[in-house]
Structure 1
Amino acid sequence: MTQQNGGLLRIFPEGGGDKVADIEPMFDRILFFWSDRRNPHEVQPAYKTRYAITLWYFDAKEREEACKRYQRERQRELATSRPT
């Protein structure tokens, strides 16, 4: 089915190595995994409609740091976009 529809998810081991997990898209399958450095991954080309939901989770400290970073970037953007 994957050869016809594509969309294979391949998860590589953290830090390299030979073992990979190839996960075929199947009807009614849901997969949860950390999509950060712990699980390097790729999705091979899909030839049919494919849906993905991405959820970002921040703890309180990470959220605070992200908000501060956003504010700094926003201020930089505003400063550079002002007419002189």
Structure 2
Amino acid sequence: MDSDKFSFEEFNKSHDLLNSESFTKVYQIFNDENSIDNTGKEYCEKIKEKLSIPKDDKDLILHFCNNLYKIIADYNNWNNVHF
């Protein structure tokens, strides 16, 4: 496995513990760049300055916020197509 770039496929091959449909589904949802939730994106824009993650990586901030929003939406049983 290349230490400079994480590959889920390579990691999954060598770690059978994670070889489940549930884990794979969650990983794919969280890493799907096409599934940016517009409502989550709006909230991210409002709170991104308050986050303690690297502020110079806008993609990281957007994905972090969006994934957090997906988790909160699922927890609160909001209508969210990703879960």
State the TM bucket, normalised to the shorter chain: under 0.3
| Structure with more contact order per residue of length (Cα contacts < 8 Å, sep ≥ 6) | 1
Which protein shows a greater Rg? 1
Normalised by the length of structure 1, the TM-score is 0.26
Normalised by the length of structure 2, the TM-score is 0.26
In terms of fraction of residues, the more helix-rich structure is 2
